Amino acid sequence: MEYLPEMHLHNPATVEEAIRLHDAAPASRYLAGGSDLLVNIRRGIEQPDHLVYLNGIAEMHAITDGPDQISIGAAVTLRELAESVLLREHFAAVAQAAGEVAGPSHREYGTLGGNLCLDTRCVFYNQSEWWRAANNYCLKYRGDTCHVAPAGKKCFAAFSGDVAPALLLFDAEVELAGPDGRRRIALMDLYRNDGMDHLTLTSGELMVAVHVPKMPSAIPTGYAKSRVRGSIDFPLAGVAVRMGLQDQLIADLRIGLTGVSPLPFLVRGLETFIGRRPDDACLEEVRDVVRRQAKAMKTTLTPPHYRRRVAGALAQKLAESIF
Amino acid sequence: MNKISPIQSIGIPKPLVDGPEKATGKAMFAADFQATDATVGRILRSPVAHANIISIDTSQAEALPGVLAVVTEADCADGYGVLPIAMNEWALARHRVRYRGEPVAAVAAMDVATAQRALDLIDVVYEELPAYFTADEARAEGALDLHDDKPGNIEREVEFDLGDVDAGMAKADLVREVDFHCAEVCQAQMEPHAAFAEYDAARERLTIRPSTQVPFYVHKMLARTMGMSESHIRVIKPHIGGGFGCRTETLQSDLIAGLLARKARGTVKVVLSREETFITHRGRPESHIKMKVGMTKDGTITAVDFTAQQRGGAYSGYGIVTILYAGSLIYGIYDIVSARFQGYRVLTNTPPCGAFRGHGTVKTRFAFENLIDGMATELGLDPFAVRRANLLVAPTMTENDLLVNSYGLDQCLDWVEKASGWKQRKGKLGPNKGLGMACSHYISGASKPKHWTGEPHATIHLRVDWDASITLLTGAAEIGQGSSTVMAQCVAETLGVDMGRIRVIAADSALTPKDNGSYSSRVTFMVGNASIDAAQNLKALLIEAAARKLEIAPEDVECLGEVYRGGQQDQGLTFEEVVMEALKGEGTLAVKGIYDTIPESWGGRKYRGAAIGGTMAFSYAAQVVEVTVDPDTAEITVDKVWVAHDCGKALNPLAVEGQVQGSVWMGLGQAMSEETRFHDGLPLHANMLDYRVPTIVESPPIEVGIIEANDPHGPFGAKEAGEGSLTGFLPALTNAVADAMGVRATALPLTPDRLLELLEKKARDERVSANASGKVA
Amino acid sequence: MKSTLSLTVNGVTRDDVVPDNLLLVDYLRDKAGLTGTKIGCDGGECGACTVLIDGRPRHACLTLAATCQNAKVETVDGLSRDGRLTAIQRGFHEKLGSQCGFCTPGMIMASEALLRRNPDPSEADIRDALAANICRCTGYVKIIEAVQFAARERTA
C-alpha cells in the first residue's frame, strides 16, 4: 500500500510539447507504462513533482516498415513487440526478448522505451524508504556506501531490461528528442558502465523511436533468460545470440548480454570464431568467453557465480538451437 | 410409492458455500470495509535490530493537524503472546526493540500522507545493543540475552530418549548421519494483514474485523492489551485471504488497530504493506537438523538419533510448540522403537517465527525421508520397500504415546506406486530425469488445547425458526479452506436435508459460539464432530415433533430428511410442517452440539512437553515426484506429482483435492525457490518479487489419490486433509534429483545455483578420483 | 493537482474529480466503492489488482487513474451484472479455482481477457495468460480446470 506523493500529470499530444512541459517543470519525469517508474516512486527512489505522460503521442506508437530499416515507436508496448509479425520475421530475438519481460499483464503496458531506459537494479536499492534508511541508504541513492562492494566507489546495480541485448545484435539506433532538437545514436551509446548513472540521455531528453537496419539476408537470432521462476522475474542473466553459418562454418556471431552488469553489451572477441565449425568444442569455447565477460556482482539474491555460469550456458544452448 | 430418501451431502464434490461471493468480488476482506469517518492507521517501525528505547517523543506528531491518535507501549495495559507460558511480546515495543521492523508507535490520521508525516515527527532515541542474526551467534558464549528470563537465548531446550537408541544403532547394518539446513520460509498469503476497528465511544466498546485465523485469541489479546473487559469487545472475522499459519496468533496490527480506534474514539483501518506483512512474519524457522538413522539390510529402521536447532526470532510466539513438534512427530508414521532427540529453539534479532502449515514437522521429515532414501540406495533397496518395512499397524500407541487409530499409509504407497508407474519407469527415464518419493503425516488437531479451561474443544449452535431454514452458528474461522462448507455438509448429512436449507454464520463473537480457531488441522475433525452432534440433537427434537403430529411413537418415525413419516404408506410431513409442530409451545429452536477429545489422545508424559503431538487421528500421505534437470543451467522442472492422501472419509472430495494440491505445491515453493534471508537483520525478500512464490508457469500437474482409512472417531470417519501432504514434497524432490543427477541435496531451497554447485562439485570429485585411479582419458 | 476523469466503469459512465497521484486501484476501491479489485503487494508483483482497460488486462496498482481518460474499465464487480455468474465465475466457483478468494478477482479478469481473444485456449495458453497472477492456495491446478470449464461453457 505504499502510496504516491502529490504530483502533477501532464498529457502532451506531441513530442515537442512533451519536451517543453518537461523542461518547464523542475523535478519532472517522463511516464510511459509506469511498470518500473511508479514502483520506484512508491518506494521513494524517485520523487518527481511532475510526470509527463507519453501515451497520447501518436508518433511514438508506430511500427514502420521502411526499405532499409524498421522503426519502432518508443511507446510501443512489449506485447505489441512480441506479437509483431514484422519483428518476428526480421529480428526474432527482439520479439522473443519482449515476450520474456516480466509477465503478460506487465507487457500490456510496459513499453519498448521503458524497457530500454529501465533503471538499474540492486537488492540494496529496490527496497522501501524505511528499508534503505535503516541500511544508511546506498551509493546509488542518498548514501555513500555501496553495499555490494563497500570498499569501492562504483555502483554495480545491474541493467535488467530484456530487449536491449537483442537490439544490440542488429546495430539498432535510438532517436532521442530534447530541448536542443533530435539526434540519433547507436543503442550501444545510450549506455555507460555506471550503475548510478547508466544512461547517456541529457537533461530532458526523451527516447522517441528505435530504428533497426534490416539485414541483407536472414541470420538466425534468439533470446533466452535465466530466472528462478517461469515468469515475472527480472533476468539473472539474459542472452541474445545471432549466429549465421556459411558452408557449415560460422560466418557471423554476436552475443548480447543483460542482467550481469550496469549496462547491456555485446560480448567482445567473438571474431576469433568466424570460420570455425560450430561443433561442441567450439561452442564450449563460446560459452567460456561469455562466462568471462558476464561479470555479475552481488546485486541479486542469486549469487554471481551462478549468473556467470548460466550466461555462458544459455549462450551455448542458443547457439546450438538457432541454426 | 414414495422414493423419497435422505439427501446425501458428504462424499460428493461440493463447491464452497461462500464461493459465489469470491467469484463476484462481493466477498469482504478486512481492507474492503469502508466508512466515511474512517481514519488511516500507520505504524512506525524500528530501524535498528536490537536497542534499548531511551525515549519516545510523540508531541510533534500529536500536534500535527489531521492526526487523531498516536499510541505507544504506554497505551498498552499488558504484553501478549499465543502461549500462556510465553507471553513476552507487546503490541508496541516496550523499553527495547529486538528486530528491525518491530512496531514502536502508531498513528491514526485523516489520510495516509498525514499519517506518514506524523510518523516522521516521532522522535525515538535508541541505545543500540549487539544483535544476533543466526542461532549460533545468539547461543555463543557471552552473547547478550534478548530476554532476561531466557538465559543463553534459549527459548526452549527439548530432550527425549525413548527405547534403547544405542542398542538399536548397534543392531543396524547401516548407520548414516547427515546435516541438513533448511531456509526460513514465509506463508506469503495473498492478503496483506489488515484490521478494521470501530470504537463506540459512547459505550466504550470495540468492534474489530481482523484478518485472522483465530478470532478468539485476538479477542482475548485485545482485552489484555487494551485493559478492556472481554465483554466490551466484538470480533467479527471477515473473509480471509489465506493464512497458512501466520494468522494463528494475534498480530500487532490487530492490537494496534484496537488501540488507535479507542484513542481516536472512532474508526481506524490498518492495512499493512506487503513489506510489513513479511516483517510481521510468523513463518517457518531456519533449521539445522542433524539426523542419524540405523537400518538393517531389509530396510527396518532400528533407531533414530537427531537434533534440531531453530532460529526462532525475537519473541516466543509458538516457539516452544514448534520445537516440540520437530521432535515428537518423528513418531506416528513408521514403527520407530527407539529415538533420541535434542532440540533448541533459539531467540535471535529477526522477526518472530510462528506456525506454518505442517507446523514443526516439515524439516524433520525432510531430513528423515531424504536420509533413508540415500540409505535405501546404499543398501540396494527400493524406497517403497523401505517404507513398507516400517509400517505401523493400527490401532496402536507409539513409543511416545501418540494414539493411532486409523492408518492408510500402506494404501497411499500402493496408489502412488501404481499411478506413477514407479515399477516400470524408475531408472528408465533416460538422462537427467528422475523419480523420487517420500511420505508424511499430520495431526487432526492438537488434542490438548493451549488454553485449558475445561470447555469442550468445539461448540456449534443450530437455530431453526418458522421459515424452516437452518442457521448454523460457528466460531470456526473460514479462511478459504472450506470449513463453513464442511460444517454445512455434516449438518445436512445428519439431517438428510438439502444443503440449501443451511446458512452458515461464522466467527462473530456477538453471535457465534467460541471456537479456538483454524489451525493444526483441527476444524474438520473437531468442529465437524460438533456439527454432527448438534444436528443429531436437532433431529431428535424434530422426530419428537413429527411423532406428536403423526400420533405415533418417536421410534416409529422414519426420517427421510425433507420428509418425516410413519411408514411407506404414510404421505408424511414436510420438513416445514415438522418444524412448525416443533415450534409449538417452544418457539425458535436452538440446539447445541459439542465435541471433546478423549484422554488417550492427549499425548504422553515420558518427557517434558510430550503432550505436543497428541491428536485424535493422523492423516497420511505418500507422493512421487518426477523431475527433469537441465545439466547446464541446473534448472529443475517438476514434470508431475502423484500424491495419495489418507484423510479418512473424504467429506468433500473436491475440497480435499484442492487442499492436497495446494499443500504439495506449497511444499514445492519451499523446496525450490522460497526463502527469507536477512542483511544485518533487514529482510532481503520482503516483496513478491524476491520472495519467489511459484507462478503458474513452472507449477506442475498434481494428480491426487484420495485414500479413505476412516478413523473411528472422525466425523463420518474423516481426518485432516490440509497439511499432511505438504511435507513429503521436499524430500521427494531431493530424492528425485538424486535419482536424476546422482547428487543429494541437503540444503533447501534447491535453487538452480545450489544445484549447480552440487553438480560442479560432483564433476570435480569425479575428475579427482579419475586422476587418482589413473584412468585419465 | 486534480482533473476531471471521465470513463466507464463496468459499463457505467462516471465523472470524478481525481488527484493526479491517485492510483486506479484506489480510485476503483475508494471512489467508486468497487472493492472487488484487491491489493496484494506494493506494486505490480502479484496480479491481484488485474482489471481490464479497453479489454486488455492491466495492473490497477501501477496505473494512474488520471491516465484512464475515456477508457473502458472492467472489474470483477461488474462481470455478473444481470445477477448471474458468468462462465468464468462459475468455473472458479464450481471447479474450486478459488479457495481464499483473494487472487480470484485478478485471476478472473486475466482469464476473461484470455477467453475473449482466444475462446479455445490450450493449457499452455492458459498458463501464459495467467503468468502474472500469483495464487497461494490452489497450486493452480484447479485454476486451469476452471478456465477450461469456462471455455467449454462459453462455446456450448
Q: Does A81 lie in the same domain as A35?
A: no
Fold of the domain built from segment(s) C2-75: Ubiquitin-like (UB roll) (3.10.20)
Note whether A233 contacts B698, CB cutoff 8 Å. no
Instruction: For Cα atoms B130, B131, B137, give the angle at the middle one, nearest 5 degrees.
Output: 105
Residue B55 β-bridge partners: B125
What is the C-alpha to C-alpha distance for residues A112 and B455, in angstroms, rounded to an integer?
A: 64
A147: chain B residues, CB-CB within 8 Å: 679
Note whether B480 contacts C140, CB cutoff 8 Å. no
Q: Coil, strand, or helix at residue B48?
A: coil
Domain annotation for chain B: domains and CATH numbers = 19-25+457-596 (3.30.365.10), 36-129+190-242+247-280 (3.90.1170.50), 286-448+602-760 (3.30.365.10)
CA distances from B64 to B55, B70, B71, B120, B377 (A): 20, 11, 14, 11, 69
How many angstroms separate the CA of residue C113 from the nearest CA in chain B?
A: 16
For chain A positions 195-254, those within 8 Å of chain B (CB to CB) are: 226, 228-234
User: Does C59 contact chain A (CB < 8 Å)?
Assistant: yes
pLDDT for C60 beyond 70: yes
User: Does C91 contact chain A (CB < 8 Å)?
Assistant: no
ipTM of the complex: 0.98
Q: Does A316 lie in the same domain as A237?
A: yes
How many angstroms separate the CA of residue A267 from the nearest CA in chain C?
A: 31
C69: chain A residues, CB-CB within 8 Å: 11
CA proximity to B359, closest of B484, B459, B450, B474? B450
C33: chain B residues, CB-CB within 8 Å: 34
Q: Does A67 lie in the same domain as A191?
A: yes
Each of the 323 residues of chain A gets a pLDDT tens digit; together they read 578 999 999 999 999 999 999 999 989 999 999 999 999 999 999 999 999 999 999 999 999 999 999 999 999 999 999 999 999 999 999 999 999 999 999 999 999 999 999 999 999 999 999 999 999 999 999 999 999 999 989 999 999 999 999 999 999 999 999 999 999 999 999 999 999 999 999 999 999 999 999 998 889 999 999 999 999 999 999 999 999 999 999 999 999 999 999 999 999 999 999 999 999 999 999 999 999 999 999 999 999 999 999 999 999 999 999 87
Note whether C133 contacts A105, CB cutoff 8 Å. yes
Instruction: Work out the end-to-end distance of chain C between its first and last CA atoms, rounded to an integer number of angstroms.
Output: 50
Note whether C131 contacts A8, CB cutoff 8 Å. no
Q: Does A82 lie in the same domain as A32?
A: no
Average pLDDT, rounded, for chain B:
97
Q: Does A75 lie in the same domain as A202?
A: yes
What is the C-alpha to C-alpha distance for residues B294 and B175, in angstroms, rounded to an integer?
A: 4
Of the candidates C90, C92, C139, which has its C-beta nearest B662's C-beta?
A: C139
pLDDT for B282 beyond 50: yes
Question: Cβ neighbours of residue B594 under 8 Å, at least 6 residues apart?
Answer: B456, B457, B458, B459, B460, B530, B533
What is the C-alpha to C-alpha distance for residues C39 and A214, in angstroms, rounded to an integer?
A: 44
- Which of C85, C130, C137 is best to mutate for the B interface (most B CBs within 10 A)? C137
C45: chain B residues, CB-CB within 8 Å: 274, 687-689
How many angstroms separate the CA of residue B751 from the nearest CA in chain A?
A: 7
- Which of A124, A160, A228 is best to mutate for the B interface (most B CBs within 10 A)? A228
- Which of C2, C4, C17, C21 is best to mutate for the A interface (most A CBs within 10 A)? C21
Report how many Cβ contacts below 8 Å link chain B to chain C.
171
What is the C-alpha to C-alpha distance for residues B473 and B462, in angstroms, rounded to an integer?
A: 6
What is the C-alpha to C-alpha distance for residues B659 and B521, in angstroms, rounded to an integer?
A: 11
Note whether C135 contacts B696, CB cutoff 8 Å. yes
**What confidence score (pLDDT) does residue C125 get?**
98
Percent of chain B with pLDDT over 90: 97
CA proximity to C17, closest of C8, C29, C32, C5? C5
What is the C-alpha to C-alpha distance for residues C149 and A256, in angstroms, rounded to an integer?
A: 43
Q: Does A227 lie in the same domain as A190?
A: no
Note whether B633 contacts A302, CB cutoff 8 Å. no
Question: Cβ neighbours of residue A67 under 8 Å, at least 6 residues apart?
Answer: none
Question: Cβ neighbours of residue B294 under 8 Å, at least 6 residues apart?
Answer: B168, B169, B171, B172, B174, B175, B301, B302, B303, B304
CATH of residue A281's domain is 3.30.390.50
Q: What is the mean pLDDT of residues B135-146?
A: 98
Note whether B682 contacts A123, CB cutoff 8 Å. no
What is the C-alpha to C-alpha distance for residues B655 and B647, in angstroms, rounded to an integer?
A: 11
Average pLDDT, rounded, for chain A:
96
What is the C-alpha to C-alpha distance for residues B730 and B672, in angstroms, rounded to an integer?
A: 8
Q: Does A45 lie in the same domain as A64?
A: no
- Say how far residue B640 (Cα) sits from the centre of its chain: 25
Residue-by-residue DSSP string for A171-190 = T-EEEEEETTEEEEEEGGGG
pLDDT for B774 beyond 90: no
C41: chain A residues, CB-CB within 8 Å: none
Core vs surface per residue B547-564: b (16+ CB within 10 A) or e: bebbebeeeebbbbbbbb
Note whether B29 contacts C102, CB cutoff 8 Å. yes
Q: Which residue has the cell 451431502?
A: B9
Chains touching C by CB (3 or more pairs below 8 Å):
A, B
Which residue in chain C has the smallest CA separation from A48? C21
Secondary structure element (H or E) that encloses residue B666, with its range: helix B653-672
pLDDT for B773 beyond 90: no
Q: Which residue has the cell 505490480?
A: C44
**What confidence score (pLDDT) does residue B775 get?**
57
Q: Is the pTM of this model over 0.95?
A: yes
Percent of chain A with pLDDT over 90: 96
Q: What residue ranges do the domains of chain C occupy? A: 2-75, 87-155
The CB density around residue B57, as the number of other CB atoms within 10 Å, is 13
Which residue in chain A has the smallest CA separation from B31? A1
**What confidence score (pLDDT) does residue B1 get?**
43
CA proximity to B305, closest of B294, B314, B297, B321? B294
My answer on whether omega of the bond before C57 falls inside 30° of 0, hence cis, is no
Note whether A229 contacts B682, CB cutoff 8 Å. no
* Domain residue limits at A12: 1-52
Residue A139: inside a domain, yes or no?
no
Residue B282 C-beta-side C-alpha neighbours within 13 Å: 27
Residue-by-residue DSSP string for chain C = -EEEEEEEETTEEEEEEEETT-BHHHIIIIIS--TTS---SSSSSS-TTEEEETTEEEEGGGSBGGGGTT-EEE-GGGTTTTSS--HHHHHHHHTT--SS-SSHHHHHHHHHHHHHH-SS--HHHHHHHTTT---SSSTTHHHHHHHHHHHHHHH-
B683: chain A residues, CB-CB within 8 Å: 131
Note whether C34 contacts B25, CB cutoff 8 Å. yes
Q: Any idea of the CA torsion for A185, A191, A197, A203, to the nearest 10 degrees?
A: 10
- Greater confidence (B384 vs A215) lies with B384
Percent of chain C with pLDDT over 70: 99
Note whether C104 contacts B22, CB cutoff 8 Å. yes
Q: Does A284 lie in the same domain as A227?
A: yes
Q: Does A194 lie in the same domain as A177?
A: yes
How many angstroms separate the CA of residue C83 from the nearest CA in chain A?
A: 28
Residue B407 β-bridge partners: none
Strand B747-748, strand B174-182: pairing: parallel
Provide the grid cell at A123.
537488492
Which residue in chain A has the smallest CA separation from B116? A3
Q: Does A252 lie in the same domain as A176?
A: no
Angle formed by the axes of helices A280-293 and A304-322, nearest 10°: 140
Q: Does A76 lie in the same domain as A44?
A: no
The CB density around residue B600, as the number of other CB atoms within 10 Å, is 14
Residue A143: inside a domain, yes or no?
no
Residue finishing a domain among A52, A72, A89: A52
What is the C-alpha to C-alpha distance for residues C18 and C21, in angstroms, rounded to an integer?
A: 8
pLDDT for B248 beyond 50: yes
**What confidence score (pLDDT) does residue B487 get?**
98
Instruction: For Cα atoms B338, B340, B341, give the angle at the middle one, nearest 5 degrees.
Output: 145
How many angstroms separate the CA of residue C152 from the nearest CA in chain A?
A: 23
Instruction: For Cα atoms B616, B617, B621, give the angle at the middle one, nearest 5 degrees.
Output: 160
B684: chain A residues, CB-CB within 8 Å: 123, 301
The backbone torsions φ and ψ at residue A251, rounded to the nearest 5 degrees and listed phi first, read -110, -15
How many angstroms separate the CA of residue C105 from the nearest CA in chain B?
A: 6
What would the 3-class secondary structure string for A221-258 be? EEEEEECCCCCCCCCCEEEEEEEEEECCEEEEEEEEEE
What are the respective helix, strand and coil percentages of chain B, to the nearest 5? 30, 25, 45
pLDDT for B577 beyond 90: yes
Q: Which residue has the cell 535490530?
A: B49
- Which of B42, B272, B630, B689 is best to mutate for the A interface (most A CBs within 10 A)? B689
Number of helices followed by number of strands (H, E) in chain A: 11, 12
Question: Cβ neighbours of residue B162 under 8 Å, at least 6 residues apart?
Answer: B338, B339, B340, B399, B400, B606, B607
Residue A55 burial class via C-beta count within 10 angstroms: exposed 0-12, middle 13-18, buried 19 and up:
middle
Q: What is the mean pLDDT of residues B584-604?
A: 96
Note whether B665 contacts C140, CB cutoff 8 Å. yes
Domain count, chain A: 3
List, for residues A7-42, the tens digit of each pLDDT value: 999 999 999 999 999 999 989 999 999 999 999 999
Query: Within B292-351, where are the H helices?
Result: 319-328
pLDDT for B316 beyond 80: yes
How many angstroms separate the CA of residue C45 from the nearest CA in chain A?
A: 7
B665: chain C residues, CB-CB within 8 Å: 138-141
How many angstroms separate the CA of residue A9 from the nearest CA in chain C?
A: 6
User: Does A103 contact chain B (CB < 8 Å)?
Assistant: yes
Q: Answer for the pair B248, B213: CB distance below 8 angstroms, yes or no.
A: yes
The CATH code for residues C87-155 is 1.10.150.120
Residue B6 burial class via C-beta count within 10 angstroms: exposed 0-12, middle 13-18, buried 19 and up:
middle
My answer on whether omega of the bond before A264 falls inside 30° of 0, hence cis, is no
Of the candidates C93, C103, C141, which has its C-beta nearest B19's C-beta?
A: C93
What is the C-alpha to C-alpha distance for residues B599 and B174, in angstroms, rounded to an integer?
A: 39
Q: Answer for the pair B295, B172: CB distance below 8 angstroms, yes or no.
A: yes
Of the candidates C20, C39, C131, which has its C-beta nearest A104's C-beta?
A: C131
Of the candidates C3, C21, C128, which has its C-beta nearest A4's C-beta?
A: C21
Residue B245 β-bridge partners: none
List, for residues B696-715, the tens digit of each pLDDT value: 999 999 999 999 999 999 99
Q: Any idea of the CA torsion for A164, A167, A171, A173, to the nearest 10 degrees?
A: -70
**What confidence score (pLDDT) does residue B567 get?**
86
Residue A169: inside a domain, yes or no?
yes
B116: chain A residues, CB-CB within 8 Å: 3
CA proximity to A241, closest of A314, A303, A304? A314
Q: Answer for the pair B615, B403: CB distance below 8 angstroms, yes or no.
A: yes
How many angstroms separate the CA of residue C110 from the nearest CA in chain B?
A: 13
Query: Within chain A, where are the H helices?
Result: 15-24, 37-42, 78-83, 85-90, 92-100, 104-109, 112-116, 129-134, 163-168, 280-293, 304-322
Note whether C20 contacts A9, CB cutoff 8 Å. yes
User: Does A3 contact chain B (CB < 8 Å)?
Assistant: yes
Of the candidates A8, A42, A108, which has its C-beta nearest C43's C-beta?
A: A42
- Say how far residue B715 (Cα) sits from the centre of its chain: 20
A8: chain C residues, CB-CB within 8 Å: 1, 20
Residue B632 burial class via C-beta count within 10 angstroms: exposed 0-12, middle 13-18, buried 19 and up:
middle
pLDDT for B596 beyond 70: yes
Note whether C3 contacts A51, CB cutoff 8 Å. no
Q: Does A311 lie in the same domain as A269?
A: yes
What is the C-alpha to C-alpha distance for residues B578 and B288, in angstroms, rounded to an integer?
A: 62
Question: Cβ neighbours of residue B141 under 8 Å, at least 6 residues apart?
Answer: none
- Which of A4, A28, A105 is best to mutate for the C interface (most C CBs within 10 A)? A105
